[in-house]
Amino acid sequence: MAPRTIAPFGPQHPVLPEPIQLKITYENEKVVDVVPALGYGHRGIEKACELNEYPKNIHLCERICGICSCMHGISYCEVVERLWPMEVPPRAKYLRTIWSEMSRTHSHLLWLGLLADALGFESMFMQFWRIREKVLDLLEMTCGSRVTQSVSVVGGVRRDIDDEQKKICIRTLQEVRQEAEALINVLATDPTVKARTVGKGVLTKEQAILLGNNGPHLRASGVKEDCRMLGMQAYGELGFEPVVETDGDCYARALVRARETLQAIDLQLEAFSKMPEGEIYVRPKGSPPANEAVYRCEQARGEVFYYAKGNGTRKLERLRVRTPTFANIPSLLVMLPGSELADVPIIVLSIDPCISCTER
Amino acid sequence: MIENLKEISKDTLLQEVQKFADAKARFVTTVCSDLGDKLEVTYYFNYSPGVDMVALRMVVGKDEEVPSISGIYLTAVLSENEMFEQFGLKVKDMAIDFGGLMLLGKDSPVKPMVKDDAAAGKGGE
Amino acid sequence: MGIIQTSQVKSPWILHFCNSSCNGCDIEVLACLTPLYDVERFGIVNMGNPKHADVMVVTGPVNYRTARVLKNLYNQIPDPKMVIAVGACASTGGVFHNCYNILGGVDKVIPVDVYVPGCAARPEAIIDGVVLALQKLSKAVGVAK
């Protein structure tokens, strides 16, 4: 038997912008065992949310993760709205959908860039991030901030998109779609990309379900499951159909995310054309009653689960957030053993890990 | 108001969870909350393919030990470790036991989510 | 003043470390390296290895576990070195100041030279912070302007 070596992967590693550690045991370049060590990003947001009054928690929840920030804010507002329960105006629902899809577009472009970077395809990394800046400009124009959008409040949204902005959005999104499509074609057909991703980190349909995976990671294994099918916000009126691939390897995951990027742009364009006129905010009455609610929403990385429990006061009794990466990390314990050491960064990246989400 | 909620006890937990595994349901998460003298643990599942959730809820004493479902669903191991760290809920036979150091560091507050614990929060706003 | 001192100021290499940040500042630090902001035109390169770095860019508040890692990385960077705390949380703890697992800003653990405000800090502000740090560095290595 060859000698075994244990190598720490992280917490500070060039592939990962965020701190997570994987203790990898390997034998002749073959990975034998993996133990994840978390905790480098744990802040204790769930507890902090019990200390503040419920409208202030929006700011905390948006800072669970900076990349999916917009959707965390929206999910928190939706779960608190369900405690009454109360209904938000239709225009606010459309605006929430548009901002969700906009942040999905920027998140997927970011991930596609990081994948290219992990493969050593520097120029493609730069190109994806160049396109992404256009989406960030749109977010800045409509929300006022590049990263933490902070547009959603309990009862609706804070800002409206006027006709002038709408025109700019539609024009820019069409440009982005064209440029992204061209780049994605290169990514999907390039032989070196295929050599590094096809057949790596394979997860079958049964394994993926039993491991509780979600999001693009689950859909790449051939399971047609997407929280947007629940029809919350305006998705029910947009004719949404999830993107599914069947191979379950890193290449399939990249394809799912690439196709979802284009789909997200189409959804935004459709939402712009169907958006009704009207109010964007209703004032919630008093404090949330003693009730519980759950809400699930499809973020860029997968399904996020929010649970809230009110007790009739202005503070929440309990808030629980289960983020997509929290459920996707156990799949690494199955995918990594047996793979080559050199493929570890790609396989880890293929679940689109978001550590600050995971540990809150 | 949680839909499709079923109250169970800790003795029947494993049987109930096994039924979900046989039906190819997907494990979503666990939610633990402090009721004062007891802990309330809720397990959420999702029939796959599909999007409707089903929940199992049990109420246990603070010193009681509950069985781990990580033998059936490996993915539950992170949630169970988290419950142990944050609420002190003892879970028996977890597939990977981080020993209370999964999210918290050595110097972090102990059982920070428990309501009556003085170490829990640094105060108001 | 030798070639090493000159190049330290003209082409500083950066080590980026994320504490328990929300990611917002991290993607903005990365955005600085990409075509729109492109700090590489100033000779600034992002490095994975602390032993090659001159400037340490830290994002996010310090928690009980990252404190040790942060101290280790700081000690591995050769002198003279500069530390930039990017974002409100790295400067003071920010929105997370009363979370139970948070120690506070980066200056609770290591000395900080430049604080960049913002949540999340904009790329322009981060570049400005690096320029300020370089002015300080040039004094430290004796290439002062």
**Alpha carbon C65 to chain centroid, angstroms:** 19
Question: Domain residues of chain C, as ranges?
Answer: 3-141
Residue B77 lies in a domain: yes
Test B112 with C63 for CB contact under 8 angstroms: no
Distance CA A300, CA B89 (A): 32
Mean pLDDT of chain A, nearest integer:
85
Residue B101: the pLDDT is 78
Distance CA C70, CA C68 (A): 5
Q: Are strands C55-59 and C13-18 parallel, antiparallel or unpaired?
A: parallel
Question: Domain residues of chain A, as ranges?
Answer: 4-359
Residue % of chain A over a pLDDT of 70:
98
Quick one: closest CA in C to B102, which residue? Answer: C65
User: Total structural domains in chain B?
Assistant: 1
Cβ–Cβ < 8 Å for A6, A24 = yes
Tell me the shortest Cα–Cα distance from A110 to chain C, in angstroms: 9
Residue B35 lies in a domain: yes
Three-class SS state of A166: helix
One DSSP character per residue, A63-130 reads TS-SSSHHHHHHHHHHHHHTTTT----HHHHHHHHHHHHHHHHHHHHHHHHHHHHHTT-HHHHHHHHH
Tell me the shortest Cα–Cα distance from A148 to chain C, in angstroms: 7
| Residue in A283, A282, A314 with CA at minimum distance from that of residue A53 | A314
pLDDT tens string A250-264: 899 899 999 999 999
Tokens standing for residue B18: 């096994």
Distance CA A247, CA A98 (A): 30
Nearest-10 Cα torsion for A219, A222, A223, A226: 30
Cβ–Cβ < 8 Å for A98, A166 = no
A126 against C34, higher pLDDT: A126
pLDDT tens string A155-192: 888 888 888 888 999 999 999 999 999 989 988 888 88
Residues of chain B with pLDDT under 70: 48-51, 116-125
Tokens standing for residue B45: 């599942």
A90 against C48, higher pLDDT: A90
Residue C29 has pLDDT above 60, yes or no: yes
Residue C1: the pLDDT is 61
Assign residue A144 a region: left if phi > 0, alpha if psi is -120 to 50, beta otherwise? left
Question: Which residues of chain C lie closer than 8 angstroms to A12, CB-CB?
Answer: 17, 48, 50, 69, 73
Test C98 with B112 for CB contact under 8 angstroms: no
pLDDT tens string A201-227: 888 888 888 888 888 888 888 888 888
Residue B9: the pLDDT is 81
Residue B123: the pLDDT is 42
Residue that is written with structure tokens 């989406």 in the block: A135
Residue B63: the pLDDT is 82
Residue % of chain C over a pLDDT of 70:
97
Residue B47: the pLDDT is 79
**Predicted ipTM of the assembly:** 0.83
Tell me the shortest Cα–Cα distance from B11 to chain A, in angstroms: 23
Name A304's Cβ contacts closer than 8 Å, sequence gap at least 6. Answer: A68, A71, A72, A75, A296, A297, A298, A321, A322, A323, A324
Find the domain containing B38 and state its range.
5-92
Residue C86 has pLDDT above 60, yes or no: yes
Tell me the shortest Cα–Cα distance from B3 to chain C, in angstroms: 32
Residue B116: the pLDDT is 67
Distance CA A343, CA C56 (A): 29
Residue B112 lies in a domain: no
What is the mean pLDDT of the segment spanning A227-248? 82
Interface check for A186 against chain C (CB to CB < 8 A): the answer is: no
**Into which CATH architecture does domain C3-141 fall?**
3-Layer(aba) Sandwich (3.40)
Q: ∠ at Cα B9 (B3, B15), nearest 5°?
A: 85
Residue A249: the pLDDT is 87
Residue C5 has pLDDT above 80, yes or no: no
What is the mean pLDDT of the segment spanning A315-333? 86
Q: ∠ at Cα A276 (A271, A282), nearest 5°?
A: 110
Test C34 with A45 for CB contact under 8 angstroms: no
C110 against A11, higher pLDDT: C110
- Return the bridge partners of A320, or none: A307
Interface check for B110 against chain C (CB to CB < 8 A): the answer is: no
Question: Which residues of chain A lie closer than 8 angstroms to C27, CB-CB?
Answer: 17, 66-67, 110, 147
From start to end of A77-188, where are the E strands?
152-153, 156-157
Residue A230 has pLDDT above 80, yes or no: no
Question: Which residues of chain B lie closer than 8 angstroms to A326, CB-CB?
Answer: 29, 78-79
What is the mean pLDDT of the segment spanning A284-308? 86
Question: Which residues of chain B lie closer than 8 angstroms to A295, CB-CB?
Answer: none
Please name the amino acid found at residue A178. Answer: Q
Distance CA A303, CA A75 (A): 11
Test B109 with C63 for CB contact under 8 angstroms: no
Residue A331: the pLDDT is 87
Interface check for A110 against chain C (CB to CB < 8 A): the answer is: yes
**Alpha carbon C33 to chain centroid, angstroms:** 14
What's the CATH number for A4-359?
Answer: 1.10.645.10
Quick one: closest CA in C to A66, which residue? Answer: C24
